[in-house]
Amino acid sequence: MGLGRKLAFKAISLAIVLAVVLFLTVMIIGATGISDKILNGMVQERLRTMRQELAREIKDPEALNRALEKIREDLIKSYGLDRPWYARMPDMIWRIVTLDLGVSKTVTSFSGSNKISDIILERFPNTIFLMVTVLIINFVVSLFVGVRAATRPGSFLDRSISLFSSISYALPTWWLGMLMILVFAFYLRLFPYGGMYSAPPPTDPLMRALDLIWHLCLPVLTLVIATSGSWIYITRSIVITTAQEDFVDVARAKGLPERLVLWRYVIRVAAPPILTNLMLGLAAYLGGAILTEAVFSWPGMGLLYFEAIMSVDEALILALTYIYTLIYVVIRFVLEVLYIIVDPRVRYT
């Protein structure tokens, strides 16, 4: 099987996964009546807008109500509310794919729009900025510290890393976040309590960027402390397993320098599982850290999901679930392509 055909097969299989998730999601929201609530909400929003427009032209209240009732009947037919939920499945799937889920009941964008697509497109870059920063720090720290610990198994550094990993993994991020706010914001007053910018935000571009970095420090520090331990330990385990292979012993028996053995025979072979951990971590991180963003009032996808759940905003929850699934599918496909580059043992021919 050729390379292009194999990648096409992987893309199709992942697209099928996305389609199955969408199908099951629509089945659930249809059978539970959530789709009816979403579509009825869209109809009511359209009627509210039309009422404001028609009220300028039609002064008679009865005539206005008759006109709105006619519009309401047309909207019910156009949205398929006069049909059972299973007959609306293809249309509902298309609405989810295009994020055409109407408006949010409680959440608005920074510009005041309550369209779900506008809200998500506005929040997503904030999550990317926060979580990709955390991901890069975790990856770099785990690569250097984890590899160093793996080359000295049983040493003080190795035992310290194991202890730190256990503590880090057990720390609840929301509790650690509140502790960081208490210490560094309340007592020491070194960092702000939360948000992305000061109120009012600086107008100068340089000062605005510095203000953003200042607000970024505490949530990044919290997430790095709470997640870096597992990253370091996973990298250490992968490298130490690879270092025990026979080909590494042969390389050392040939008299090759230890640094060359480490980077050419150990790190290079251990790169694919490390890359897998990195890419799947990226997929998880782009969904946002719900509790951490809520604690620090960081206006990203995690806080948006928290607000949607607390307000029982079905349409917004549905759109976010689809976005998270789409992110996972896309990153899985990118991972398949990267495997070909970093692992010479992989052959798709």
SS3 string, 114-131, reads CEHHHHHHHHHHHHHHHH
pLDDT confidence of residue 225: 93
Q: Is residue 21 part of a domain?
A: no
Residue range of the domain that includes 55: 27-89
Per-residue pLDDT averaged across 58-86, rounded? 82
Tell me how far apart the terminal alpha carbons of the chain are, to the nearest angstrom: 5
Indicate whether 211 pLDDT > 90: yes
What is the count of structural domains for the chain?
Answer: 2
Average pLDDT, the chain: 83
The answer to whether position 239 is within a domain reads yes
Q: Residue 214 — pLDDT band, cuts 50, 70, 90?
A: very high
Q: Say yes or no: 56 and 165 in one domain.
A: no
For residue 103, the SS3 value is strand
Predicted local distance difference test score (pLDDT) of residue 171: 86
Query: Taking Cα atoms as reference points, which of 109, 103, 112, 113 lies closest to residue 38?
Result: 103
Whether a cis peptide bond, with omega within 30° of 0, leads into 90 is no
Regarding whether 59 and 202 lie in a shared domain, the answer is no
Same domain, 65 and 128: no
Statement to judge: residues 200 and 239 lie in one domain: yes
- The band of 175, judged by pLDDT with boundaries at 50, 70 and 90, is very high
Q: Which long-range contacts (CB under 8 A, 24 or more apart) does 108-114 make?
A: 110/299
Does a structural domain hold residue 267?
Answer: yes
Classify residue 115 by its DSSP letter: B
With respect to residue 102, please indicate whether it lies within any of the assigned structural domains. Answer: no
For the segment 126-134, the average pLDDT, to the nearest whole number, is 91
Q: Domain holding 157: CATH number?
A: 1.10.3720.10
Q: Would you say the pTM of this structure is higher than 0.85?
A: no
Question: Whose structure tokens read 């605005």?
Answer: 208
Same domain, 52 and 170: no
Based on the fold, state whether residues 138 and 209 are members of the same structural domain.
yes
Task: Note whether residue 85 is domain-resident.
Answer: yes
**Does position 321 have pLDDT exceeding 90, yes or no?**
no
182-192 pLDDT per residue, tens? 999 999 999 99
Amino acid (1-letter code) at residue 95: R
Looking at the structure, do residues 230 and 284 belong to the same domain, yes or no? yes
Between 35 and 114, the higher pLDDT residue: 114
Last residue of a domain, one of 41, 74, 89: 89
Does one domain contain both 234 and 160? yes
Task: Give residue 139's pLDDT.
Answer: 92
Helix (H, G, I), strand (E, B), or coil: what is residue 21? helix
The predicted structure's pLDDT at residue 243: 82
* Whole-number pLDDT of residue 210: 93
> pLDDT value at position 137?
94
Residue 11 lies in a domain: no
Please report whether residue 105 resides in a domain. no
Of 128-132, 155-159, 218-222, 344-348, which gets the smallest average pLDDT? 344-348
Q: Is residue 22 within 8 Å of residue 93, measured between CB atoms?
A: yes
219 assigned to some structural domain: yes
State whether 201 and 265 are in the same domain. Answer: yes
Question: Of 50, 71, 89, at which residue does a domain stop?
Answer: 89
| Domain co-membership, 124 together with 265 | yes
| 215: nearest Cα among 192, 182, 187 | 192
pLDDT, tens digit (0-9, with 9 covering 90-100), for 267-291: 888 888 888 888 888 888 887 788 8
Residues 85 and 205 in one domain: no
Burial class (CB in 10 A: 0-12, 13-18, 19+), 189: exposed
Same domain, 247 and 153: yes
